[in-house]
Structure 1
Amino acid sequence: MEPLPQPHRAPGATPRRARDLGVVVGCGVTGPLDAITDVPGVRVGHTTVRRPPDVHSGVTAVVPDLVGPGSPLPAGVFTGNGYGKLIGTTQLTELGTLETPVLLTSTLSAFRVADALVGWMLRRPGCEQVRSLNPVVGECNDGFLSDIRARPVHEEHVRAALDTASDGPVAEGCVGAGTGTVALGFKAGIGTASRMMDLEGRRFTAGVLVQANFGGTLRVLGRALTPRSLGLGAGGPGPAADTGSCMIVVATDAPLDARQLTRVARRAVFALARTGAAYSHGSGDYAVAFGTRPDAGHPVADAELGPLFEAVLDGVEEAVLNSLLAADTTTGFGGRTVPALPADLLAAAVTGPWSPPPGDG
C-alpha cells in the first residue's frame, strides 16, 4: 500500500494544471482550490497501490461529510454508455438518494471495494442498527498498464482512502484510482476542477472529479492533438480503440432535488465530448451528482439552472485536462509504456498557429 499525498513525479518536476499553462476553459470563476473539495463538506482521499512493473492501481474516495443511512443526500446518475460496473446505480436511480461515499477503483477490484465500503460504514457511529446499505462504487479498466487479474486493491486500501480523506488540495494524475488509467492516447488519471456561480442571487459552488480512461482524439479548446501532431511520434500500441471508460463525480451545495441532479449528471457526461471522447462500444461513461446541502434555502427553479449546467460542462473539461497534465509516463504490465502529455508542447500547440493534425496512419 502506498498512500501518496501528491501525484508521483520525477524529482524536481513541477506539477502542472491547465490553468498553469494559460489554458482556461470557459469564463467562470473557480473556487480557491479549483477542486471538488471547494464544495463545503466534501473530502477526497486516495490510496495508490503500486508494485512495479506489474501493478499500477488504487482507490479514490469522494466523501460527503453529512452522508449516511440516516441522512441520505439527494443524488442523480446518468449513463452515457453502460459498458461498466457502477455498483449501487439501481437504488440511486430509483430513490434519488446517496447514503455512502462514492468510491472509484479498478474494474475487477470494484466488488471487493464495495464490500470494504459496507464494512467501513457499518462501523461508523449511528450505524449500529443498519440492516440495509447501498454502496456506490465506480470503476475503470486499468488492465493495459496493471495486472488487473491480481485484484490488488484490498480492504486496508479502502479504509486508508476513507480515513485520510481531506478537504484540502486534491492530488491528481497517477494517484488512487487513476494510477493505471489511460485516456485519449496519453497517460491519464484523476483530475478535478470547480466553478462558482450565482443562482437566483445566491452564490453556490459545483465541483467535479474524474477518473479518466477513455478513447478518442484529444481536443484542447477545440483543437485536435495527437502524439504525432505534438512531435512525439506514433508511439507504441495503446489500449484497443473501442475500450475505455470515464467515471465522473459532481458535488454541489446548491439545493437541488434528485431529478435536477440527474440533469446535472447528464451535462457532466456530455462534457466529455469537448475533450474528444469517442463514447465507444466498450466504454463505461457514468456521472454521479449529489447535493451536499438540500436544506440550503428554497430549491433552485429549473429555468435558473443554466449557469450551473455551464459550470459543470467547463469543470469536467478542465478536470480531464488536469488528469492528463498531472500524469507521468508509465511503463507497466507486459512492458507497455504510455506517454504523459507534455505540458510545454501542449501550451505551444494551443497558443500557436493551428493546423490540422496529421493522421497517425
Structure 2
Amino acid sequence: MKQLSRRARDLGIVVGSLPTGRHNAITDVAGVLVGHTTIDDGADLHTGVTAVVPSQLGPGRWNLPAAVYSGNGHGKLVGSTQVDELGVLESPVVLTATLSVFRVADALLGYLMDRRPDGLSFNPLVGETNDGHLSAIRRRPITREHVLAAITQASGEPPTEGCVGAGTGTTALGFKAGIGTSSRTVRLADRAVTVGALVQSNFGGVLTALGVPLPADELIPDAGHVEPAGNSCMIVVATDAPLDSRQLGRLARRAVFSMGRVGASFSNASGDYGIAFSTAPPDQLPIPDGEINPVFAAVMDAVEEGLLNSLFTAVTTTGVGGRTSHAVPHAEVIRRLSAAGRLAARPSVAEPGT
C-alpha cells in the first residue's frame, strides 16, 4: 500500500506548546493567501511556482514592513537588497527553481506594472531552491502564465503541502521534501497575534524530529542516499503582530535558526533565507522589544513544524536521469519517536506494501 501524505501532527509529532491557528498554516494570518502552479510530467520535469500573496498590498497601501535575513547567501533572492535598505515588501513573495527565478521575476514585474499603470519603479521579490536533482532544471519550463496562475488563484484555504509548486522537485535531509507550513497564536499584553510560516525545503543534514535523529541511510538503508548539490531553504514568515522592519529582521533570523532544530547542515552551497513581513495596520505602533519573546517562540516553532510537514507530506518521486528521492517512512519514524517517548499520541500507520 502506498504511504499516504501526512502532516507531523497526524503522526503524533507536536512541536512546542503554543496553540496553532485554525488551519495550522501561514494562511491563518488574515489576508495572507497562497497559490501553487505545479509542473510534473512524470519523467524529467518536477518543478513549479509557489506564491505567498498578502492581500493587504493594494490601492492605498503598496508596501508592508518587511525584512530579509541571509543565513547563507549562496542563492538567488531577487529584490532582497531593496527590502534590506527600505524595510518594505512591495510584491507577493514568489518561490521557484534556481534557473527559473529570473523569468519568474520578470513575470512578477509585469503583474506589478499592470496593477499600477503609473508606477516607474517596482521591486519583485523572488526566491529559489535548486531542484536539479529531480528536474531538468536547464529547460526552464516556467512561463508567465504559470506565475500569474499561482498569484491570481492564491487563496486563504490551507495550502497544499509536499510535492507541489516550488517544492515539486526538492529534497531535504536525505528524503523527498517540498512545501510545508504551520502557524502559532500567542497572547501579548493587549492583543492576540498570529504567526505563520511557509517553507521550501531543499537542504542537507540529518533529519531530526523532536530531538531524535532519523538518518536517511538508516531509515532507508538500500536507497543509496546521495546528497544533491545546490541545497537551499526559503522560509517566509507572516504575522499580524505590529512590528517594524528591524524587529521583522529579528524574526527572519530566528526562522533560519529553526533549521538547526530539524538537523540542517548549513553547508557551503545551501542558500538559506528568511523573509518576514507584517500585515498589521500602519497606524498601530510596534510592540515593545520587551514583549516580543512570545513572537520569537512562535516563529521558531512554526518554522520547525513547517519544515517537518514539508518532508512528511512529500511522496517518493523519480525524476530526471532515473534518480529517485524517497519519502520519509512514517512507520519507522513513529517507531523511533515512540521508543524515545516523544509522541503526543500513537497514530496508526500502515507499513508500505501491506
The answer (yes or no) to whether the contact 2:27–2:157 under 8 Å persists in 1 is yes
Equivalent positions of 1:1-361 (< 5 A) are: 14-68=4-58, 70-124=61-115, 127-230=116-219, 232-240=220-228, 243-295=230-282, 297-353=284-340
- TM-score normalised by length of structure 1: 0.91
Work out the CA distance in 2 between the residues paired with 1:219 and 1:87.
Answer: 31
In structure 2, distance between residues paired with 1:94 and 1:275: 31
Q: CA RMSD in A?
A: 1.5
Match of 2:350 in 1: none
SS of alignment partner, residue 87 of structure 1: coil
TM-score by length of structure 2 reads 0.93
Change (3 A) 1:84 1:201: same
Tell me the number of residue pairs that the alignment of Structure 1 and Structure 2 aligns: 340
Query: Cα distance, 1:351 vs. partner?
Result: 1.2
Structure 2's unaligned 5+ residue stretches are: 342-354
Q: Once superposed, which parts of structure 1, at least 4 consecutive aligned residues long, lie more than 6 Å away?
A: none
Structure 2 distance, partners of 1:349, 1:342, is 11
Q: Distance in 2 between matches of 1:169 and 1:266?
A: 25
**For the residues of structure 2 that align with 1:129 and 1:353, how far apart are their CA atoms?**
60
CA displacement at 1:296 relative to structure 2:
6.3
Q: Which string of whole-angstrom CA distances, capped at 9 and with x for unpartnered residues, describes residues 250-283 of structure 1?
A: 0000000000000000000000000000110001
**Aligned residue identity for 1:266:** R
In 1, the alpha carbon distance for the partners of 2:322 and 2:171 equals 15
Q: Percent of aligned positions with the same letter in both sequences?
A: 56
**CA 45–194 in structure 1, closer or farther in 2 if over 3 Å, else same:** same
For structure 1, which segment, 68-77 or 131-140, has the greater mean C-alpha deviation from structure 2 after superposition? Answer: 68-77
C-alpha deviation, 1:71, in angstroms:
2.2
The structure-2 alpha-carbon separation of the partners of 1:31 and 1:353, relative to structure 1 and needing over 3 Å to count, comes to closer
Q: Residue type of the partner of 1:238?
A: V
Q: Which residues of structure 1 form unaligned runs of 5+?
A: 1-8, 355-361
Q: What secondary structure is seen at the aligned counterpart in 2 of 1:205? A: strand
1-structure distance, mates of 2:95, 2:283:
28
